Structures are given as C-alpha cells and as structure tokens.
Structure 1
Amino acid sequence: MEIDFEKLIRLQGLDIDIHQAQVLLDGIPLQQAAIDQKIAAGSQAVTAAKDKLAANQKKRRELESEVKDVRARITQHKSQQAQVKNNKEYSALLKEIEDDQRRIDGLEESIIQEMLQADDIEVEIRAALDLQSKDKTVLEADKAALAKSAGEAESRIQDLGRQREMLLAQVDAEQLTLYQRIFKKKGGVALSAIRDDFCALCHMRIRPQMLNELLEKNKLITCENCGRILYITLDTEAPGREEAEAAKS
C-alpha cells in the first residue's frame, strides 16, 4: 500500500495546532487569577488606608475624652480651693491644677498631630481609590480579553477536532497506530521532513538506502536517531524543529 504522507502531515499539523490552542486555553485561568489578585491588592490598599484613618480617629476621640476628664478635674480642684483651710492644702491643689493644665497642653498638641496625620491619610485614601479605579478598569478589560481568547481557543479546538476526526477516518489504521505511538512518545511531533538528506529535527544523515525506500512510498520508515517517521518533501516550510519546539511549549 502506498503511504499517503499528505494526510499524515495534515494530521500532525492539526495535532500541533490543537496542542498549541490547548496550551493557550490552559494558561488563561492562571492569568485570570493573577488579575484577580491585582484587583484584590487594590482593594486591600484602600481598606488599609481606611483602617489607618479609623485608628487615627479612635485615637483622637480618646485624647479628646481625656482632655474633657482633665478639665473636669481642674474645675473640681478650683471649687475645692475655696474650701481649703490652710496654705499647704491650697498650694497642693494649685500644683494639681498646674499639672493638669500641662497635661491638657500635651494632649491638645497630640490632638493637633492626629488631625494633621488624618489629613495625610485622607489624601492617601483618595490616591488609593483613584489608583484602584484606574487599575480596575484596565484589569477588567484584560480579563474580558482573556475570556474572549478562551472562547476563541475553545472554538478553535472544537473546529480542529472535527477536522481531525474526519481525517482520521481516511488514514490507514496501521499507519495511524504507529503515528499516534510516536506522537505521544516524541513530545507531539511524529513526523520529520528530510532536508538535504538530513532529518530536519535531529539532523541525522539519512542513509541512501533509506532514501530510496522512502521514494517508493510503500512503507513508513523512522529516523534511526530520533525515531520519528521520515518523509521527503520539496516544501522548505515543511514541519521541522520550529514545530517540535512549539509542540513542546
């Protein structure tokens, strides 16, 4: 039986195209997950800035509450001054009032610092929100593009699969069995063209006797070095090392 190399070459081309489309499709979920992580990171930056502002406001309320308590204590001490019976007690109350006033001065300075810090944090929040909005727009567009690519890859795989099934019915069963075995064993490339008497993939010189047998096209002959099915072609773009590398990727 004469070997129909054209069908085998077409089959290999389909298998390589299917593999490449599947690799593309398989990689999309990881890319989508990476985008989701970036979107989440933007949200986390906003949340962190808002949490910082909440902590600042809490600290400010605590300081203001303490100022209120100290003022109440000063008022109490001043009312007690009118009731003291000697200078020692009066001086003691006066010292407590002075200490409390210094405490208030320190607390009010801290409150001012918290207010200034709050202004900076609010700027940080606005910047984080702005960046989040811009990044999310770009990232969502990237996700949409990936979803489109996934749909296209799935459609391509289905279309190529249908072509492959139709072609399989036209290939001799024995030849197909050998092809499939080598295809699985050799990283997705079962055929290799002969170029200038060399195997295009492993560059092994082909013996003249094998070349003559190949010209007869009555049996499949494999390369003595790489084990792939050899065929003769005048097509300079016949499957070669580039296809092998693509199939492995």
Structure 2
Amino acid sequence: MNQYLREMIELSKIDNAITEFEPKIEKANKEYEAVANRRIAITESIANLENRKNQIFQDIAGYEKSLAKLQQEEKEHQKKIQMAKNERELENLKLEKEQILTPQIENLNEAIAQLNKELEHIEEQLAKKEQELQEFQKEFGEYERDLVLKLEELKNQQKELSQERNQLVSQMDSKIFSFYQRIRRWAKETTAVPVRDQACYGCFMKLSNQVYLEVIKGEEIVTCPNCGRLVYLESHLEEE
C-alpha cells in the first residue's frame, strides 16, 4: 500500500478514536455535574445557614450589650426618681422612664427573643441539611468518586491518542497532511473508507473498473470519484 495513504488511514483512525471520546467525556461530565450540583446545593445551604447563625449570634451580642447599658441607665434613673426633690421632678423622671427607657428595653428584649426563635429554626434546618448531606454521601459519595476516576481515565486515554496523533503528524509530509485535512473537514469520521464489493463505503457508490484496479494495486493515493473520500482495501492494511 502507498505509504502516504497508509499514514492518512492511520491518522483518520486516530482522529476517529479521539472524536469518539468527546461524547463519552461529555456524558460523564454531565453525570458528574448532576451529582456534584446536588452536593453543592446542600453544602451551600448549610454554609448559608451557618452564616446566618453567626450573624444572629453577633446581633444578639450587640443587642445584649445595648440592653445591659439601658438596664444600667434604668437603675441610675430609678435612683434619681427616689431622690426627686419635688412632685414635678418626680413626674418628669417617671414619664421619661415610661416613654423612653422602658420601651427601649422592651424592644431590645423582643428583638433578642425573635432572634433566639429564628436561631432555633436555623438549628432545626441545619440538622436536616446535615442529615441530608450524610444520606447523600452514603448514597452517591462512591458513585461521585467513580465518576471522577472515569473522567480522569477517559481524558488520559484521549491525551495518549492526541500524543500519538501529534507524533504521526510530525512524521508526515506537510502536503499530504494538508490534503488529508481538506477531506477531513467535510468527511469527518468517514475520511478514509474501505472498498467492499467494488463499492466505496463512504457514499456506497460502485467504483469504475479502472478506479477499482488502482485501489487493488494500492500503489497510489486513490479517492472515490463520486464523493472524494480516501478509499482502500482492508487487506492492504495487513501487509507490511
């Protein structure tokens, strides 16, 4: 068989093998993403709940600090009431306590109570999400790890083929490689096809006796006159 033709056939097989990996990798990626996205959604929910929990702790601490300050002011105010010099001063001090200090203290206590109630709800949600994550890891953890390994294996195999392709291309005549690429652009996986029963197995049209004879000889690069694909006899590939 013509050496250039043999190289193009080999390159076509390698390109086809590389192309076959793409849908496999895409499928594995989608499977992994579907599982990973579920895990990520759970962990993000946990993280959001933890962040809100920490924020509540900070808010409560801030309110408690303000409350302690107001309670101290209330004690001092109560002393002023007890030391009031006259009825008018007493009424003013009591009014200030009722309209300013007491409502502020009540509001802070109410805010702290609401935050504690929200905190209880968050703790319940966290427990559920953590349980959900444990169940997910139990059910899908191993499957997710297997998908990662499968993806790595597919990518490594594709990489090995790409290296093999690069090595072959580096040894090819540049004009022959350009000729191959022109056909590959449109023929893709059927760039080089066998001839069976005197028919091109790319377009399935019968070859003329003259073209078929050239294919049998295998001395030249032969393309199908009907479709332009590279054609060859499979028996020639077994020859040294």
Give the shorter-chain TM-score range.
0.5 to 0.7
Q: What amino acid is the match of 2:87?
A: N
1:27 Cα offset (Å): 6.4
1:117 Cα offset (Å): 0.7
What residue number does 2:18 align with? Answer: 19
* Equivalent residues in 2 for 1:172-211, closer than 5 Å: 182-185=179-182, 186=184, 187=188, 189-194=190-195, 199-202=200-203, 206-211=207-212
Aligned mates of 2:176, 2:201 — CA distance in 1: 17
Question: Cα–Cα, structure 1 residues 188 and 177, in superposed 2: closer, same or farther, change >3 Å?
Answer: farther
1:78 Cα offset (Å): 1.7
Aligned mates of 2:77, 2:115 — CA distance in 1: 29
Encode CA deviations 1:152-184: one digit per residue, 9 max, x unaligned.
76469769x99xx9xx9xxxx99x999755544
What residue number does 1:105 align with? Answer: 106
Task: Say yes or no: does 1:230 pair with 2:231.
Answer: yes
1:127 Cα offset (Å): 3.2
Aligned mates of 2:25, 2:150 — CA distance in 1: 14
Aligned mates of 2:41, 2:107 — CA distance in 1: 38
Aligned mates of 1:83, 1:158 — CA distance in 2: 93
Identity of aligned pairs, percent?
15
Aligned mates of 1:79, 1:193 — CA distance in 2: 107
Q: What amino acid is the match of 2:152?
A: A
Whether the 8 Å CA contact 2:9–2:192 is kept in 1: the answer is: no
Whether the 8 Å CA contact 1:182–1:190 is kept in 2: the answer is: no
Partner SS state of residue 230, structure 1: strand
Encode CA deviations 1:115-166: one digit per residue, 9 max, x unaligned.
111112112322333344444563564244332453476469769x99xx9x
Deviates more, 1:118-127 or 1:10-19: 10-19
Q: CA RMSD in A?
A: 4.7
Q: What amino acid is the match of 1:121?
A: I
Q: What amino acid is the match of 2:78?
A: K
What residue number does 2:152 align with? Answer: 150
Q: What amino acid is the match of 1:90?
A: L
Question: Cα–Cα, structure 1 residues 177 and 191, in superposed 2: closer, same or farther, change >3 Å?
Answer: farther
Count of residue pairs brought into register by the alignment: 222
Partner SS state of residue 122, structure 2: helix
Q: What 5-or-longer segments of structure 1 have no aligned partner? A: 234-249
Whether the 8 Å CA contact 1:179–1:229 is kept in 2: the answer is: no
What residue number does 1:236 align with? Answer: none
Question: Cα–Cα, structure 1 residues 87 and 20, in superposed 2: closer, same or farther, change >3 Å?
Answer: same
Quick check: which one's helix share is greater?
Answer: 2
* Equivalent residues in 2 for 1:234-249, closer than 5 Å: none
Aligned mates of 1:208, 1:10 — CA distance in 2: 23
* TM-score, structure 1 as length reference: 0.63
Aligned mates of 2:96, 2:89 — CA distance in 1: 11
* Equivalent residues in 2 for 1:71-86, closer than 5 Å: 71-86=71-86
Deviates more, 1:25-34 or 1:186-195: 25-34
Aligned mates of 1:86, 1:158 — CA distance in 2: 98
1:93 Cα offset (Å): 0.7
Question: Cα–Cα, structure 1 residues 140 and 42, in superposed 2: closer, same or farther, change >3 Å?
Answer: farther
Question: Cα–Cα, structure 1 residues 216 and 14, in superposed 2: closer, same or farther, change >3 Å?
Answer: closer
